[in-house]
Amino acid sequence: MSFTGKYQLQSQENFEPFMKALGLSDEEIQKGKDIKSISEIVQDGKKFKITVTTGTKVLRNEFTIGEECEIEMLTGEKAKALVQMEGDNKLIANVKGLKSVTELHGDTITNVMTLGDLTYKRVSKRI
């Protein structure tokens, strides 16, 4: 199953408390909370390029499954990460105490991020 495609955010849960815990300012949180971000994923075997556009903010990350890489976080900070694949439709990453699980089911991508006891869930559909 290939992750390649463009996906638009459909729904999210716990956005504000999670972003606050990450250290984003109230102004950044208010700007981003109602924008339907677009995620573009290009998968080439074990190599991934992910571009997330939220309004004027663009986050680009590239990684290879099983190899350490540098990921730009939502705060703009860069951190070392290791992304693993479970089966052919689930990506799991751990970055600075943040766990991210991204699962593809048909045309829907669900991303659940956990930081301590806070969980943030995003659901996006292929466009």
Query: Per the structure, how many domains does the chain have?
Result: 1
pLDDT, tens digit (0-9, with 9 covering 90-100), for 5-34: 999 999 999 999 999 999 999 998 988 888
pLDDT, tens digit (0-9, with 9 covering 90-100), for 70-95: 999 888 889 999 999 999 999 999 99
Strand order across the 108-115 sheet? 57-64, 47-54, 38-44, 5-13, 118-126, 108-115, 98-105, 90-95, 78-86, 68-72
pLDDT at residue 75 in the model? 82
Whole-model pTM: value is 0.91
Q: Provide the CATH number for the domain around residue 47.
A: 2.40.128.20
Domain with 75, as residue range(s), is 5-126
C-alpha separations of 7 from 33, 40, 50, 53 in Å = 17, 6, 11, 10
